[in-house]
Amino acid sequence: MSKFLIVGLGNIGEEYAETRHNIGFKIVDALAKDAAIKFSSDRYADVAELKHKGKTLVLIKPSTYMNLSGKAVNYWLQSEKIDVENMLVLVDELALPFGKIRIGPKGSDGGHNGLTSIQETLNTTNYPRLRFGISNEFSKGSQVNYVLGKWNEEELKTLSDRIKIASDAVKAFSFIGLQRCMNEFNNK
């Protein structure tokens, strides 16, 4: 049985719950809800275990806040004895239109503090990630407010559909592999 670490990036706390920056949490929450499993608080993260087509997906929502996500990721990779290529990090992406997903095997942190922390802790940029587009519809100097802002009415109309596609991509990653997953989901 293959094991995968699925890392939903976000910030803990009610004030962040419905913000664009917490899309990683929203995707793993959707996976857990669909499978009727619950998260429990554990070391550095809330954790749930999902079984899918003979695979085990360890879902985590780091409780370290975004800027220290690497600490949780490193702990759970080692604790669960999962190779970095069997990890998928779910993250918000300003450079993509709202709801667009882009899956890739590696990349820069793009100025994202969660990815920066993971890359500094693991000492590599070679790990799979799913970037969920949040668009960049903000005025100069207001990026932080935008990223930490709540979804607007237009986004909310299709957000759950886009999260469902991202959730399907996570399951596909574990079952058909990164390359086929990229081919299937990067144009959706």
Within 10 angstroms of residue 123's Cβ, the number of other Cβ atoms is 8
Nearest-angstrom CA–CA distance, 19 and 13: 11
**Which of the following is catalytic: 8, 9, 11, 21?**
21
Contact 6, 57 (CB under 8 A): yes
Q: Which two tokens stand for residue 6?
A: 């699925």
DSSP string of 29-74, one letter each residue: HHHHHHTT---EEETTEEEEEEEETTEEEEEEEESS-GGGHHHHHH
21 is catalytic: yes
Active site amino acids: 21
